[in-house]
Amino acid sequence: MIKRIGLLTSGGDCQALNATMRGVVKALATMLNEHELEVYGFDDGYKGLIYGKYRMLTSRDFSGILTQGGTIIGTSRQPFKLMRVPDENGLDKVEAMKQTYYKLCLDCLVILGGNGTQKTANLLREEGLNVIHLPKTIDNDIYGTDMTFGFQSAVNIAVNAIDAIHSTAASHGRVFIVEIMGHKVGSLTLESGIAGGADIILIPEIPYDTKKVIEAIEKRAKAGKRFTILAVAEGAISKEDAKLSKKEYKEKLIERAKKYPSVSYEIADKITKKTGQEVRITVPGHTQRGGEPCAYDRVLSTRLGAGAAEAIMEEDYGCMIAIINGKIKRVPLTECAGKLKTVSPKDQTVKAAKMIGISFGD
């Protein structure tokens, strides 16, 4: 009996997508005979599934990609809220995805992606397709799993950026801001900031008071410290802005963009005006998504991929393959789709950071 599976990677890329697909296919190939597995890769995420753009993949495609970043089948962002909206030619995207699935007689569609990707995976499950989701995101914000692949690799890159800033910050006696990815969730900034020895960490879940931030900088200066390093999440928000409605905050962001490229530049401007200190900003940006996956992610991806293969062999679909307390588990999509895992201000990691003197501006 031939097993036919589809693979697609959707949303922002990260370092361990290839390693995870490799885990799925190599595990299935080991459990099946040579001619019992057919693998179809969909080009550029859900676009490939919608428009029937795919290719058959062989074992050769998965050789030598454990250490390769990005994704060999391409990716794209397809907002979940637009999945039920016909395209510019009036095409029903959901119906088109189903037709492609049935045309290829797939036994299962393995979907690698973050929160939006997962919501669409759950939509396809509701439409009767056999799907398995694998949790990918550098933000580690997927509910129902302790860790996502891509996160640790991104942490390592962000930490390298902060490490490199230390020497120049100390030499010139400046305030440096390193802006880390993360619009809604601060896990990446939190762990990178602690590991990199940042003095101040600002994340979306803990609104900051600019006065408190400046106090922390001045306290270091009085103690004879020549520099201060801030790790700031893209989505860091002030206490004043946190009180605004969603509509008001959106309007505020539009106005801010006319003057500042991001929140870090606004914070830097306020620090300079208040203290007179020079502030420099470093934005690692998409380097955090690039390069080789770290050793941790290679192992995690292999385990998650093998876990997906096992679920396929057991025909247990409609789930996310997660790691919980060090064990690979299957979490029903009904329990995790549409939920966001955020950093609790009472988290032990936050508590430990505060205990060693790191300021969160609160």
Q: Write out the catalytic residue numbers.
A: 139
161-195: b or e for each residue (b if 16 or more CB lie within 10 Å)? bbeebeeebeeeebbbbbbbbbeebbbbbbbbbbb
Radius of gyration of the chain (CA): 22
Give the separation between CA 330 and CA 236, rounded to whole angstroms. 33
Query: Cβ contacts of residue 36 below 8 Å, gap of 6+?
Result: 1, 2, 3
Residue with tokens 């030598």: 64
Q: How far is CA 253 from the centre of its chain?
A: 22
**CB-based burial of residue 248 (10 Å sphere; 0-12 exposed, 13-18 middle, 19+ buried)?**
exposed
**Token duo for residue 17:** 């997508």
How many Å from the N-terminal Cα to the C-terminal Cα in the chain?
Answer: 60
- Cα gap 174→170, rounded to integer Å: 7
In angstroms, rounded to a whole number, what is the distance separating the alpha carbons of residues 292 and 294?
6
Q: Which residues contact 16 (CB under 8 A, 6 or more apart)?
A: 136, 149, 150, 153, 293, 297, 298, 300, 301
For residue 324, the cross-strand partners are 327
Distance CA 138, CA 251 (A): 28
The letter for the amino acid at 327 is K
Strand partners, 40: 6, 56
What is the rounded distance in angstroms from the CA atom of residue 317 to the CA atom of residue 129?
9
